[in-house]
Amino acid sequence: MGTIYITGHKNPDLDSVCSAYGYAKLMNLQDPDNTYVPIRCGHLSDSTRSILEQLDIDIPAYRRDIFPKVRDVMLSYDHKIDADDLLTVVAAIYEKDSPSAIPVFENNDFYGLLSVDDITNWTMRELSRDNKITTIPKVRHIMTDQGMRVEADELFDDAKALLQSSPKRGLAVFDENGYAGYVTRRCFLKTPKHSVILVDHNESRQSIQGIETANIVGIVDHHRLDAIKTDQPISIYAEPLGSTCTLVYQQFIRNNRTPDPVTAKVLLTGLIGDTLILKSPTTTGEDVVAAHVLASIAGVDMEQYGLSMFSHVEGLKSREPKSAIASDFKTYTEKGLKIGIGQCEVTTLNDLKDYADDYARTLEEIRTAHGLDWAHLMITDVIHEHSALICTKYKGNRYLPYKAIGVNIYDMPHVMSRKKQLLPEIIHVIE
């Protein structure tokens, strides 16, 4: 029985979180011998969080990294040795499994880690004094100190180095609830590896920290392929569809399963989020079919649900420009020119002039901070299929094929996709 983590990319969006949730549901049905745990490796934006909260599910937990930890190799001990027990109690245990260390308690509280060295040292000390060992000592009397401690979340490599450089045979492990277990040198012979499935991404630099130390056992994705080399053969489900949630839905179907209504709604949410209610040019026929089937399983009207989802999206006027732009900002290098394009979704562009100057100023700050030549912010009205574009001052601005509606601000009717519509025009200008 093992644990397999399923994670989306950094700066998780709806598709990343929802596809991880849905794929874990499917895999727990398909493979009950293992436990599939959906996680996210970054913090949620306010609008993503508020949409997920409406779903009334356990939102995949945040996990900072996937490096092996002390917790992964920690031991527990069945026998409870008390500091006031006689050494004969310990002798009986040694005769059975000769452990190199045994945790010792004092009235149920952890007292210290008794090492085989404590026993040898005590015996040698007594014998060298030419004493005959006539009375059996209590455990506490042969322990010279209470040993060293380590946190359960300490990195495996750090704890290993600590133990190797110390004369100790073991370390007591503590977590937020107090004593959690112990580790001995033997625990560090082999580095444990977490098993991970990547959804909605496949490049390691977009993945959870420490992914290079993990075993990647599967990939479900709709992006370009730039995956890292794996040790084992793995399953890859990749197609250029509008969302990873569509691919997860198709895996349900391929395995003759139907997602339950809640899971269907979660998958629909990711699908609608990535395809902007099926209006983005990245949308394929398969996304349209999946969206309608998922909506009928979930018992919602697809269009209405999509609109209600985006109504949770906060207007840019009330958001903090820096975090709004940074929440979805991508950088590209074209012909030696470094450019950046952010995208924000809104439900109306009527209030654009109220915040455009603030956002233009912040965009210029972001451009300088990232060392970019040219930066853009695409503000997309998902309801009316219309975008506005704010650019930093650059000589290429005048060659953009859009109507200027202000200083370095442009009108882009029917433009929804950064990747498929805006980026090609920008590359064209650069060329």
**How far, CA to CA in Å, does 241 sit from each of 234, 281, 291, 294?**
21, 11, 12, 16
| Cα-based torsion angle of the residue sequence 295, 298, 381, 315 in order, rounded to the nearest 10 degrees | 180
In the bound state with Mn ion, the residue whose beta carbon lies nearer, of 274 and 381, is 274
In the bound state with Mn ion, the residue whose beta carbon lies nearer, of 274 and 345, is 274
In the bound state with Mn ion, the residue whose beta carbon lies nearer, of 44 and 409, is 44
**How far, CA to CA in Å, does 119 sit from each of 104, 176, 181, 225?**
13, 31, 21, 58
In the bound state with Mn ion, the residue whose beta carbon lies nearer, of 243 and 408, is 243
User: To 5 degrees, how large is the angle CA 124–CA 128–CA 134?
Assistant: 75
Residue numbers at the binding site for Mn ion (CB under 5 A): 15, 200, 244, 274
Yes or no: say if 51 and 273 are a contact pair by the CB < 8 Å rule.
Answer: yes
**How far, CA to CA in Å, does 160 sit from each of 156, 209, 214?**
6, 20, 18
In the bound state with Mn ion, the residue whose beta carbon lies nearer, of 183 and 247, is 247
> Closest distance between Mn ion and the C-beta of residue 182, in Å?
43
> Closest distance between Mn ion and the C-beta of residue 273, in Å?
8
> Closest distance between Mn ion and the C-beta of residue 245, in Å?
8
User: What residues contact 24, with CB distance under 8 A and at least 6 apart?
Assistant: 6, 36, 37, 38, 60
Q: Any alpha helices (H) in 172-314, and if so which ranges? A: 244-254, 261-275, 285-298, 302-310
Q: How far apart are CA 307 and CA 383, in angstroms?
A: 7
**Which phi and psi angles does 427 have, rounded to 5°?**
-60, -40
Q: CA quadruple 183, 213, 2, 174: dihedral positive or negative?
A: positive
Amino acid letter at 147?
G
Yes or no: say if 168 and 121 are a contact pair by the CB < 8 Å rule.
Answer: no
> Closest distance between Mn ion and the C-beta of residue 101, in Å?
48
State which residue has the least CB distance to Mn ion.
15
- Of 27, 172, 61, the residue nearest 114 (C-alpha): 172
Residue whose pair of structure tokens reads 């093992």 in the numeric block: 2
In the bound state with Mn ion, the residue whose beta carbon lies nearer, of 15 and 118, is 15
> Closest distance between Mn ion and the C-beta of residue 8, in Å?
8
> Closest distance between Mn ion and the C-beta of residue 197, in Å?
15
> Closest distance between Mn ion and the C-beta of residue 290, in Å?
13
In the bound state with Mn ion, the residue whose beta carbon lies nearer, of 380 and 397, is 380
In the bound state with Mn ion, the residue whose beta carbon lies nearer, of 55 and 248, is 248
Q: How far apart are CA 327 and CA 340, in angstroms?
A: 13
> Closest distance between Mn ion and the C-beta of residue 268, in Å?
14
In the bound state with Mn ion, the residue whose beta carbon lies nearer, of 15 and 154, is 15
Q: How far apart are CA 269 and CA 354, in angstroms?
A: 30
> Closest distance between Mn ion and the C-beta of residue 274, in Å?
4
